């Protein structure tokens, strides 16, 4: 049987637009003689729909669109598409997360998700009732085990789950295996995390190998707010060999036979270099945030530092140079080369820029506040005023011209509170908020791989906020290699301070870093959405009390 893996980019809530896209893809696949076309989890409404699922009219529209799709597709073509389904039983949650099988103008069957992830960014048990019964479908002489995303992640390695080796007590494929399936289909909406790509791939490889069955996984692609989906759908042979991987970070359609006993011509796996994937993920994240929200133009403050430079390069790639208008806002503490480097980069990329000095504005603030501040020495208050002046100017440009402000803070700074609320932490979208400083430098080198986009001086000079004379980041923070290592162990690995110190770090330094992370939770609650590229980003996937003493 010929099966088509349809990896598409959906807009959450655009049910009609998603239906039309699905229909066109079915017609395209049918031209390649596909007998079954498979789409991703909750494809009809886009993933994640979140609390839209609590609106009855929303779910009704999804169901209606699926029934209309069944009528529209060619009668001799079967379609497997993800969408919500009403739970008709008197008990349990109101909905199922289902895969709908369509053929011959009607819905043939539905298959419901059993394992509902409730960790990190996932909260599916908030909306869905888990499936508890398992059966196969027969289609064109093939018996198929249909699973939905987490259903094949039942024995995934879970970090920091104490002594438990398995998160779940039910294992869908193991329960279906005695019925003798010929192949396994997994429809997924699995977000990107740079360090999890090999783990994700290995899950499907091991399932195929363990049950000696071909596995076909269709993942969503595209970005919805902070979540980025890389695609990378797979066709895996019964021996665990990967016959084909669909494109990363773009739509793709692949038609193949369900019999994968011999390697095909597309067996080579593309290079999954981590930094290049992070770069492409961030470009897609910015691109889709703007396109799906109806925005076109962006602004940011170009300071002459590495963070704003990398953010600008990514934005230029995502939106086009003509859709960017940036501000250079020097103060009396700004170095001449910071201005020169920023101008050079803007000219290289062909980006419109203006220079607005904040010195006179800052002096007016000082004068206005003198009766309150008196003879107290200048300190963090005056530094933050400068940052907030810049934030005000950027938001003024945003309001007047309609350019959405991109936040340029990196994860290292966001973690320890090295930023100013309503100043450099302002913005509509945080591009680098899940990227540690060391990786920001690596991104800069990657961006410059074919020629200098970011001036070399920006990459090599010591980082500085330039808010006081001769200021360096190292005045307030440990070196970034040490800081980032400790932060990763604390945030991603969730180790305690004593466990981190046992890894060879100075206990006093570790305690200081951990305290900075903990006391700045209130700042992170007020930041813009952060594009997620790790397993533990700030935002919805990391829920820490602001008020607490642990």
Q: Looking at the annotation, which residues are catalytic?
A: 41, 113, 149
Instruction: Please name the residues in contact with 492: beta carbons below 8 A apart, sequence gap of 6 or more.
Output: 159, 195, 534, 535, 536
Q: How far apart (Å, rounded) are the C-alpha atoms in residues 458 and 304?
A: 6
37 neighbors 25 (Cβ within 8 angstroms) = yes
Element (H, E) at 331: none
- What contacts 440, CB < 8 A, 6 or more positions away? 306, 307, 310, 410, 432
Q: What is the DSSP letter of 9?
A: B
Closest CA to 234 of 261, 208, 211: 208
Dist CA 111 CA 300 (whole Å) = 46
In whole angstroms, give the CA distance from residue 458 to residue 333. 17
SS3 186: strand
CA distances from 446 to 153, 287, 450 (A): 33, 19, 8
Radius of gyration over every alpha carbon of the chain, rounded to an integer in angstroms: 26
Q: Give the DSSP letter of residue 324.
A: B
Count CB neighbours of 339 within 10 A. Answer: 18
CA 517-123-170 angle, 5° bins: 115
Distances (CA, A) of 328 to 44, 310, 345, 491: 44, 15, 12, 33
432 with 310: CB under 8 angstroms?
Answer: yes
| Distance from C-alpha of 178 to C-alpha of 155, rounded to nearest angstrom | 19
- Closest by CA to 390, choosing from 355, 423, 421, is 423
Give 295: exposed, middle or buried? Use CB within 10 Å, 0-12, 13-18, 19+.
Answer: middle
Q: In angstroms, what CA-CA distances link 334 with 337, 407, 457?
A: 8, 20, 15
DSSP H helices, 424-479, are 437-447, 456-460
Residue 362 CB coordination number (10 Å): 17
Q: What is the DSSP string of 46-69?
A: -S--GGGGG-HHHHHHHHHHHHHH
């Amino acid at each position: 049987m010929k099966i088509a893996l349809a990896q598409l980019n959906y807009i959450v809530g655009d049910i009609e637009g998603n239906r039309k896209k699905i229909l066109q893809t079915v017609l395209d696949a049918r031209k390649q003689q596909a007998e079954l076309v498979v789409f991703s989890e909750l494809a009809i409404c886009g993933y994640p729909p979140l609390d839209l699922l609590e609106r009855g009219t929303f779910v009704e529209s999804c169901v209606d669109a699926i029934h209309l799709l069944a009528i529209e597709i060619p009668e001799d073509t079967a379609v497997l598409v993800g969408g919500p389904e009403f739970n008709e039983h008197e008990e349990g949650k109101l909905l199922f997360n289902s895969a709908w099988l369509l053929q011959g103008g009607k819905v043939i069957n539905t298959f419901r998700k059993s394992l509902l992830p409730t960790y990190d960014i996932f909260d599916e048990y908030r909306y869905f009732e888990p499936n508890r019964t398992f059966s196969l479908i027969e289609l064109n002489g093939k018996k198929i085990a249909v699973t939905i995303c987490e259903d094949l992640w039942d024995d995934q390695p879970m970090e920091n789950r104490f002594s438990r080796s398995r998160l779940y007590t039910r294992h869908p494929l193991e329960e279906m295996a005695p019925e003798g399936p010929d192949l396994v289909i997994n429809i997924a909406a699995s977000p990107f995390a740079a360090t999890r790509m090999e783990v994700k791939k290995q899950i499907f490889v091991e399932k195929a190998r363990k049950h000696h069955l071909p596995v076909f996984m269709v993942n969503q692609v595209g970005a919805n707010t902070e979540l980025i989906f890389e695609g990378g759908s797979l066709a895996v042979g019964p021996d665990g060999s990967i016959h084909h991987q669909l494109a990363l970070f773009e739509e793709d359609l692949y038609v193949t036979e369900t019999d994968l006993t011999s390697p095909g011509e597309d067996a080579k796996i593309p290079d999954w270099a981590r930094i290049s994937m992070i770069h492409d993920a961030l470009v897609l994240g910015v691109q889709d945030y703007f396109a799906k929200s109806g925005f076109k133009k962006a602004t940011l403050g170009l300071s002459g530092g590495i963070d704003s430079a990398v953010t600008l390069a990514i934005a230029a790639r995502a939106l086009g140079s003509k859709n960017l208008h940036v501000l250079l806002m020097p103060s009396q503490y700004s170095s001449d080369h910071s201005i020169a480097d920023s101008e050079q980069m803007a000219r290289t990329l062909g980006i419109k820029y203006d220079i607005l000095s904040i010195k006179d504005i800052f002096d007016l603030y000082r004068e206005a506040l003198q009766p309150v501040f008196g003879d107290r020495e200048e300190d963090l208050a005056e530094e933050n005023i400068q940052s907030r002046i810049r934030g005000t100017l950027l938001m003024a440009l945003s309001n007047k011209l309609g350019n959405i402000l991109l936040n340029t803070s990196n994860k290292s700074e966001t973690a320890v509170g090295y930023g100013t609320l309503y100043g450099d932490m302002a913005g509509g979208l945080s591009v680098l908020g899940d990227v540690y400083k060391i990786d920001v430098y690596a991104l800069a080198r990657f961006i410059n791989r074919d020629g200098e986009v970011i001036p070399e001086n920006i990459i090599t000079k010591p980082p500085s906020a330039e808010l006081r004379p001769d200021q360096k980041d190292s005045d307030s923070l440990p070196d970034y290699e040490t800081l980032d290592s400790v932060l990763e162990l604390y945030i991603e690995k969730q180790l305690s301070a004593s466990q981190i110190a046992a890894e060879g770090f100075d206990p006093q330094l570790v305690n200081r870093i951990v305290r900075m992370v903990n006391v700045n939770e209130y700042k992170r609650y007020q930041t813009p959405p952060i594009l997620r590229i790790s397993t533990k980003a700030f935002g919805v996937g990391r829920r820490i009390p602001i008020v607490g003493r642990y």
